[in-house]
Structure 1
Amino acid sequence: MAADDKRAHVGTVLIADDEPSFVEALVLGLTREGFETIVANDGEEALALSRSHHPDLILLDVMLPRLSGLDVCRTIRQESSVPIIMVTARSGELDTVLGLELGADDYVTKPFRMSELVARIRAQMRRTKHQGQAQAAEEILESHGITVYVDRHQVDVRGTEVRLPPKEFDLLLLFLRNPGRVLTRDLILDRVWGSDYYGDTKTLDVHVKRLRSKIEPDPNNPSIIATVRGVGYRLERDHARA
């Protein structure tokens, strides 16, 4: 076996894309970085391979035949917390927002540099691995009628269990651990997405919007997570627990 073939396996990436030249370049680039790759050429195949192979991350193109990337994202997120990075065209602004609202963890816009993509993939996998290895004592956080059982990744909102994707769960933990403190967008991105995150604040804003839709009594008039204009966000103090 050649020396290059002995590189440690760092994770499996499911590539869901129907453009042969693009897929070929991705497979070559990711393989050189030590990733194992699986390829799906349409949305239905992407779902099937996700269920059968349990990849460490899914690189999901928005425009897929048979079943769109957005529909694939929606279905996978109902079944799994596997990291999903959406791939969009330059004109896909709306698709980008929709993908994030459906539970994608990040997005990249074609064309992109392989080095940037690899950095984002590694960051997502690293955070997932650290979460899986955490063995801290049982921690329970409570505020505003929200109870979070950290080890079990369970969230109860006013007596009803609510399922949160990984990034929304991490966001909620960050807010609950810093009540009344203004958290800048840069700080939140660093804590939740990692210091090597390449994206912009749009990802954060969409995730906050999704989180509000699940924990706020009235998401259109948020009373739990406040926006601090031009700075970031703040979890309002729960005066009922003061």
Structure 2
Amino acid sequence: MNILIAEDEQDLRELVKLHLLKEGFKVYEAENGLDALNILNKTEINLAILDVMMPVMDGFSLIKSIRETSEIPVIFLTARGEDTDKILGLGLGADDYVVKPFSPVELIARVNAQLRRYLKYSNNEKRQDNIIVGNLVLDKDSCTVCKNNINLELNAKEYKILELLMSSPGKVYTKKQLYETVWQDTYYGDDNTIMVHISHLRDKIEDDQKNPKYLKTIRGIGYKLERV
């Protein structure tokens, strides 16, 4: 896990870094907000510890920039303990607020707690981007399909057909619905185009195309993906 510390007090920065390294984290350091932003733009950071009062760019300005592109946990580390500052920091998207002087052990505990919450949330989001039917796994984020952990080589139309069918296993889609959804054009009864793509898709997802387990033809109506 990569942790960024943005703090202009070198002694304090070194103290926090030492405790993070003991926990097995990889630590990146910045002594002002602009340097921290440059690190964030170039490196995958999993959590940021930011001082509010920093030269060049303060912590409040920095978190505004972070929240434009990222939802990583942010912990403010500052000598300013006024409620208005806490409310402002949390309102801008900070996840926690630690007032100096503080216990390094407490800070590490807060870091670990925020990372657990973030990773749990990220994993839930990732699972929501996956559609699983039997041994087929469709990843919406990367537009890929795997069967038994082996990536299948699908063209764009095959992927779109499978995504539609896997999104509602057991639901029968008419040829018209398939064509107009996937090709985004008016359907004039061109069965052959759909049949060719369905045949190629079966070649790739079925163990036996003649006895398909997943992709079933509903004669005279259309197709469905069987619940497996």
TM-score (norm 1): 0.51
Residue 57 of structure 1 corresponds to: 47
* 1:122 equivalent in alignment to 2:122: no
| CA shift for structure 1 position 95 | 2.1
Report whether the alignment pairs 1:32 with 2:22: yes
Question: Whole-Å Cα distance in 2 between the matches of residues 90 and 48 of structure 1?
Answer: 25
Compute the displacement of 1:17 (Å): 0.4
Q: Distance in 1 between matches of 2:129 and 2:54?
A: 43
- Answer with 1 or 2: which has the greater Rg: 2
- Which one of the candidate residues 76, 88, 100 is aligned to 2:90? 100
State the identity as a percent. 40
CA distance in 2 between counterparts of 1:110 and 1:46 reads 20
State the distance in 2 between where 1:51 and 1:123 align. 24
Query: What residue in structure 2 maps to residue 69 of structure 1?
Result: 59
What is the aligned partner in structure 2 of residue 43 from structure 1? 33
- SS of match in other structure, 1:62: coil
Once the two structures are superposed, residues 1-55 of structure 1 have per-residue CA deviations (whole angstroms, 9 ceiling, x without a partner) of xxxxxxxxxx111000000100111111110111110001111011111111121
Unaligned runs of 5+ in 2: 131-139, 142-228
Q: Which range moved further: 86-95 or 59-68?
A: 86-95
| Paired position in structure 2 for 1:113 | 103
The aligned amino acid for 1:113 is: S
How much has 1:92 moved relative to structure 2?
4.0
Q: Could you tell me how far apart the structure 2 residues matched to 1:123 and 1:110 are?
A: 19
Q: How large is the Cα RMSD of the aligned pairs?
A: 2.1
Q: Distance in 2 between matches of 1:67 and 1:78?
A: 16
For the residue of structure 2 that corresponds to 1:66, the secondary structure is coil
TM-score, normalized by length of structure 2? 0.54
Pair 1:87 & 2:77 matched: yes
Cα separation, 2, equivalents of 1:58 and 1:64: 14
Report the CA distance between 1:97 and its aligned residue.
Answer: 1.5
Separation in 2, partners of 1:75, 1:137: 26
Q: After TM superposition, give the deviation of residue 94 of structure 1 in Å.
A: 2.5
When the two structures are aligned, how many residues end up with a matched partner? 131
5+ unaligned residues in a row in structure 1: which ranges?
A: 1-10, 139-150, 153-242
Q: 1:147 maps to what in 2?
A: none
Aligned to 1:13: 3
| Amino acid across the alignment from 1:26 | V
Give me the whole-angstrom Cα distance separating, in 2, the residues matched to 1:128 and 1:108.
18
Deviation at 1:127, TM superposition (A): 1.3
Matched position secondary structure for 2:68: helix
Find the aligned partners of 1:91 and 1:85 in 2 and give their Cα distance.
14
Q: Is the 8 A contact 2:81 2:99 kept in 1?
A: no
